[in-house]
Structure 1
């Protein structure tokens, strides 16, 4: 598949979408198992294994692969765990897909490890930065309560800023850049042909600025207010919101987390086997 546009939906894109969705959902489900811990008002833990979805998006380089990342969370975490908020999930759907899409455009030289590291940090940083201001906005418009720290009555900016720094260190670097620098070169040029796509060769020595797209930048600018509007509407309990709260974890306990893990792994394995058989 020789792609002419990031947005064109060509033969094989559905396979890639489902494959990325399943593997992204798998990592979201697994991170649910890993416990976090509180340091004062902050909750510190593994946000996501971001290296899995960002490497997949960089390999397949389609907007649909970027969109599949938050869809994986919605399907294999929110729905299968019985905690779905229709308006609430729109925040991640808009911000994650836009951040990954925008960042992936900037990778122009797949052999440049510095460029790869910066792109991974941009993907995580842009998502966290926009999500931070969505959370701040919800407090200031009054749809979410301020969790103030004693002595810091206006601490929402401080808390969100510290949380941003923590997530960038843990999710962005430890579970983002470090494994991505190993995984992307190992998979590049090997996994794409099995799913019917030509590997991206890029341009040796090309600058990241050559990948900057005003269309993608405009998408990010539009995604932010839309994400805030959906998130605020969800917190305010608007009547047109679709909410499903089966709360399977509370009903069946932590072992139930193995259900979405098993389902996501099975879907990814089936898609992989079918793709390999088709390419043989």
Structure 2
């Protein structure tokens, strides 16, 4: 009798958890539609996701997010700015509802959050002092010289450097890119790693640094490393994730999409092609 009762309690608990899970998946989508408002998270990284001096969303990801969310009936898109490494914890903690920071889709991150299909693909680059005095034109130069490479906390570049075989003593983790530029100019690091678009954007803001050119394409274990960025959602928000992805499918690579992202340096040359989050998460 005890065993039967115990099985009944366990079954009831499992049903309750499942019911709660199903309810939770619809809650965020229903809530934002009812309220007409949503909050997105960015890391203030130009040109991926940042805010204007007036606090308005700007960059590739926020611009697309506003369009897609408007299509879903949500007209008021608020923005929370946080460090890149705090985006996933902030999403899971409920500080915002969508990560709109151009975050690369990786298997490790896929274990923590849901990703939309990618909206762009891009390669890597270095920011160096003017004239590139140490001739740092790729990860192989970092590995072969006594130099320091700066990477942003929580970024894929940390993993790239490690997987490329660069010693941990050569890697300096920084909270954000402004800190990285400051570290570069002060001599604390010799190169700052990031996507080529971000590094090019940073170089335009300070005449003491430049984008390392030419740059040797990053290869790890015989594979070309190219990042694909998308939007992040809480694992329970399957309804919001599905609705967002559905709208995204009909928008990416259209004339409207390309006209929207071209001012940020994106375009046909950064098209994700037929790549999906499912493939990238494997």
What is the TM-score with the length of structure 1 in the denominator?
0.24
- Determine which structure has more spread, i.e. the larger CA radius of gyration: 2
Would you tell me which structure has more helix in proportion to its own residues?
1
Q: Which has the higher contact order (CA 8 A, sep 6+)?
A: 1
Would you tell me which structure has more strand in proportion to its own residues?
2
What is the TM-score with the length of structure 2 in the denominator?
0.24
